[in-house]
Structure 1
Amino acid sequence: MAFASPLEFTTQLSSTAKRSNLPVLLPQSVGPTKPVRRSVSAYTSQNGAVPRRPVQRLRVAYQGVPGAYSEFAAKTACPDCTAVPCKAFIDAITAVEAGYADRAIVPVESTLEGTTVRNYDLLLHHDLRIVQEINLFVHYCLLAMPGVRKGELKKVISHPVALAHCGRNLNQLGLNGEAVDDTAGAVELLLSNRMLDTAAIASSRAALLYGLNVLAHGFQDESWNVTRFLILSKDPVVARLSLFGLKTSMVIAHSGMMLTVLLGVLSAFSSRNINLTKLEMNPSSEVDGPISILDVQGGGSIKEFPHVVFVDFEGSVDEQKVKDAIDEISKLSVFVRILGCYSADPNIYDLH
């Protein structure tokens, strides 16, 4: 089910989070396919024809376990894909770099929480390109073991963001939240330990997959709860055809006065009638220090800046007016890196 209304996110300031160093945790059955040498006769039918080899399904890495919202977003964006579960977002990124997956999907912002800065930092630290976006309506449910009622609950477990989105309803029930790695992982924990005094906040699909009872639908505090996901790839090819038009994402960094840069960015785009859909400044912090960016055009060196600006705009980097705008911005002695050019899908997809 899709809603035609576009998702609009508000511009806000945010802080940088440190990159995770967790190891890659992937199913043993998923990995790079080793070439197998076979003679032509092994593929030849009785009439001498050589049938086509089956096309390998796209492998999309996501953070979580089956039943997670990221898995549903992956299946919605790439319906015929094989979803590859990973322990952490950095694991999903590394899976693509190592060839264990073709794509990685990460949530980057939501209507309730704003920008997930840590995941945007992953874009800065790795040489992957945005090739697709998808907006997913997140509908939280309160799940429990069969036969358990609300009055028997003592606590609720889920991902920290899900707990934050449902804080008011948790308070009304007098329940404390306990954070775990992800929503579907909370369901697995509930089942494996047969926790009869605990509920999990997860999706209705997770309830079906794991055989749990839904004690409450729409458990989030605000009815309008949409998360934007980005699909990442090592493939640098720029999208050229799209039913919805194209969108380009870029990051701009500068060591001097950021206000001057912001005014220059606005002037470069507005003078060419290029519509901005996102303009967000990310300053450094005393705790995390300067913001590091991988310079993919400069031999893979790491550069540091006191602040960066994330920009999304309508159009393709192949358009001359876009090239002229980027050239004008670059002349301000700033660092510019294109994060991807992809289809600007305005739909909001529902889990139901």
Structure 2
Amino acid sequence: MTIWVILFLCTHYMKYVSNAEPLSASKAISSSSHGSKVRVAYQGIPGAYSEAAALKAYPKCETVPCDQFEAAFTAVELWLVDKAVLPIENSVGGSIHRNYDLLLRHRLHIVGEVRLVVNHSLLGLPGVRKEELKCVLSHPQMLFQALDQCEMYLNKLGVTRVSTDDTAGAAQIIASEGFRETGAIASSRAAEIYGLNVLSERIQDHSDNITRFLILAREPTIPGTDRPYKTSIVFTLDEGPGVLFKALTVFALRGIDLSKIESRPQKRRPLRVVDDSNRGSATYFDYLFYIDFEASMAEPRAQYALGHLQEFARFLRVLGCYPVDIDP
């Protein structure tokens, strides 16, 4: 693998887009939705894991690729699509903080969740053996962390690693340019779409690799009690000792389990000086707290818990109440 090939892959990735060009936030304004089929937005291009999550949630839907997470939010708000399916956390890589911030910025409702088992595959051009590869392309960090999650396999293979914006995009580059000494880490579905061969399957270091996605819509679902439900909220608290303990106690007192706690610094007022003398701890953050709890808003205990929380929360918003996905 010559150095110009690696530089080419690093600097010219963005020109490779699918025939169904991803929707951007600016293009969304001039587009329109049509037809009766459910249209579901996702970030990435065809063959992305996010598209697989959308198809798991709505098997007969029309998937709409978007170039960025925010474009998917915007597409729902502007009635260009009916739903958006976006990742929120991965069992290996942790939370996708960007989407937590976007949940607060936009006025969409969480109406469901999807848990998707992520199986990374090594892809190459037809007729190429994995021993011939000198370079592997994929996403390095954040969402699915394909390069990081397959570190032991890649070390054994002894290949150079090159970062791309997403896993399906890596497969598209290989197919478009015909680089025989270059492979891609992506889904097996991406191999089918772009005419590549699967050289190895399930190459991730951890077999239990699950990504949780949220389903977003313009209107909330009507909460019920016919099945397990989850409620997602975000709130801020006044200053003082033990205020977070008090906030969490409102759920414990009513036998409500918390399945997720995430804190994020507030963007508008991220940094404050403790006092004018600048003694002790000089600065600290104001925080937003995101919580998922295992109860439906149709249950009195959940209503009482949020009513109790409102007594000392400066801000409280219910992001959604939705059925729990128990089948990854």
TM tier, shorter chain?
Answer: 0.7 to 0.9
Compared CA separation, residues 289 and 152, structure 1 to 2 (3 A): farther
Over 3 Å counting, the alpha-carbon distance change for 1:345 and 1:165 in structure 2 is: same
Instruction: Tell me if structure 1 keeps the 8 A contact 2:230–2:323.
Output: yes
Q: 1:157 to 1:212 in 2, by over 3 A?
A: same
Which position in structure 2 is the counterpart of 1:313?
293
Which amino acid is 2:255 matched to? N
Alpha carbons 1:143, 1:202 under 8 Å: kept: yes
> Is structure 2 residue 187 aligned with structure 1 residue 203?
yes
Q: Name which of 116, 119, 142 aligns with 1:139.
A: 119
Contact 2:121 2:188 in 1 (8 A): yes
Shift of 1:200: 0.6
Tell me the secondary structure at the aligned position of residue 255 of structure 2.
Answer: coil
1:89 partner letter: F
Tell me the residue number matched to 2:5: none
The code of the aligned residue for 1:167 comes to E
Superposition TM-score, scaled by structure 2 size? 0.82
* Amino acid across the alignment from 1:245: P
Which residue, 120, 128, 134 being the options, matches 2:100?
Answer: 120
Aligned to 1:31: 32
Choose 175-184 or 80-89, whichever is displaced more.
175-184
- Residues in 1 aligned to 2:45 and 2:38: alpha-carbon distance in whole angstroms: 18
Q: Which of the numbers 264, 280, 286 marks the counterpart of 1:282?
A: 264
Kept in 2: contact 1:137–1:225 (CA 8 A): yes
1:172 to 142, 156, 171: 156
Which consecutive residues of structure 2, in runs of 5 or more, have no partner in the other structure? 1-22, 272-284
Query: Residues 185 and 90 from structure 1, CA distance in 2 versus in 1: closer, same or farther, beyond 3 angstroms?
Result: same
For structure 1, the 5+ residue unaligned runs are 1-21, 34-54, 292-304
236, 241, 251: which one aligns with 1:253: 236
The match for 1:19 is none
Contact 1:89 1:106 in 2 (8 A): yes
- Quick check: 1:277–1:313 contact (8 Å CA) kept in 2? yes
Distance 2:47 2:67 in 1: 14
Q: Are 2:322 and 1:342 equivalent residues in the alignment?
A: yes
Cα distance in 2 for residues equivalent to 1:24 and 1:70: 18
Is the 1:25–1:87 contact (alpha carbons within 8 Å) kept by the matching residues of 2? no
User: Cα–Cα, structure 1 residues 66 and 163, in superposed 2: closer, same or farther, change >3 Å?
Assistant: same
Using a 3 Å threshold, how does the CA distance of structure 1 residues 191 and 255 change in structure 2: closer, same or farther?
farther
- Say what the alpha-carbon RMSD is for the aligned residues: 2.4
- Tell me the number of residue pairs that the alignment of Structure 1 and Structure 2 aligns: 289
**What TM-score, normalized by structure 1, do the two folds share?**
0.76
Q: Secondary structure at the match of 1:334?
A: strand
Q: Quick check: 1:255–1:307 contact (8 Å CA) kept in 2?
A: no
Q: Distance in 2 between matches of 1:69 and 1:181?
A: 13
Shift in Å, 1:256:
2.0
CA–CA distance in structure 2, aligned partners of residues 184 and 223 of structure 1: 20
Amino acid at match of 1:182: D
Secondary structure at the aligned position of 2:216 is classed as strand
The aligned runs of 1:1-352 (5 Å cut-off) are: 23-24=24-25, 31-33=32-34, 56-160=36-140, 161-240=145-224, 242=226, 244-257=227-240, 260-283=242-265, 290=270, 306-348=286-328
In structure 1, C-alpha distance between the alignment counterparts of 2:107 and 2:85, rounded to whole Å: 15
Q: For each residue in 1:132-151, what CA deviation from the matched residue of structure 2 results, as whole angstroms up to 9, or x when unmatched?
A: 10111100000001112223
2:61 maps to amino acid: C
Q: Distance in 1 between matches of 2:29 and 2:173?
A: 21
% identical equivalent positions: 45
SS at match of 2:25: coil
- Measure how far apart 1:283 and its partner are: 4.0
Aligned residues of 2:45 and 2:169 also touching (Cα < 8 A): yes
Deviation at 1:29, TM superposition (A): 11
- Letter of the 2:200 partner, please give it: A
Distance in 1 between the 2:252 and 2:224 partners?
Answer: 23
The 1:79/1:30 distance shift into structure 2, 3 A limit, reads farther
Over 3 Å counting, the alpha-carbon distance change for 1:178 and 1:314 in structure 2 is same
Matched position secondary structure for 1:157: strand
Do the aligned partners of residues 253 and 66 (structure 1) sit closer, same or farther apart at CA in structure 2, a change above 3 Å counting? Answer: same
Letter in 2 for 1:271: L
Distance 2:243 2:185 in 1: 43
